[in-house]
A and B are shown apart, each in its own frame.
Chain A
Amino acid sequence: SQQGEEDPQALSIQEGENATMNCSYKTSINNLQWYRQNSGRGLVHLILIRSNEREKHSGRLRVTLDTSKKSSSLLITASRAADTASYFCATSIIQGAQKLVFGQGTRLTINP
């Protein structure tokens, strides 16, 4: 079964608003990653947070990790129409990106 559960499954907001997606997982991890998938395309890596980190930023992205609750959140600030995509969390129990286990994703729609 899949490691990650994402919430919400779908999110629709207005351009300029912030979008928050959550991911929960079941076992101890080495790192957690977030990927974006535009419709009909492959996945693109966004950001990685290690198990000993609590928060990480990259541009308009902010990721938090709470290992005690086995959960992570991805915040996209000042959303744009181009952010419309599906977002997936993926966990790895070893250092690196091998044998990633993906959640089922959050479908984000940014309305102009």
Chain B
Amino acid sequence: NAGVTQTPKFQVLKTGQSMTLQCAQDMNHEYMSWYRQDPGMGLRLIHYSVGAGITDQGEVPNGYNVSRSTTEDFPLRLLSAAPSQTSVYFCASSAISEETQYFGPGTRLLVL
């Protein structure tokens, strides 16, 4: 199993540009989530999903959209990037019956 994969590893955007951060898992997990991590801080939940077709907002959802058309994939979309969205983004997944989240390696995003 590859676990949780994220692409790209690193991205530079200009203010106002849009992009999609990809996340995929091959563990058939129902639950998937996106976090952002800013320097010296813990992770903050952006959006999450408990299954295909079901998404909900976390603590810091503004400026981000998500969709969950399949169990495996949970892309995060930045509609109009802002410098405040410069951060490291982590995707995670877990089985509803489990008590452990599995994290991807992260995507480092720089918005100029």
Contacts and interface: CB of A to CB of B under 8 A. Distances in A.
Contacts, number: 74
Interface stretch (B12-20, B36-44, B63-71, B77-85): B36-44
Q: What size tier do the contact residues of chain A reach?
A: 20 to 34
A45 B100 contact: yes
A44 interface: yes
Contacts of A90: 42-43
Contact of A101 (B45, B90, B100): B45
Contacts of B98: 96-97
B75 interface: no
Contact of A43 (B41, B43, B48): B43
Contacts of A6: 42
B61 interface: no
A48 interface: yes
A93 B102 CA distance: 19
A54 B20 CA distance: 43
Interface string B90-112: 10101011111111111000000
Interface in B1-30: 4
Given A41-B106, A43-B90, A96-B96, A102 B101 contact: no
Interface of B: 4, 31, 33, 35, 40-45, 48, 50, 58-59, 90, 92, 94, 96-106
Among all A-B residue pairs, the 4 with the closest Cβ atoms: A102-B42, A42-B103, A45-B100, A102-B43
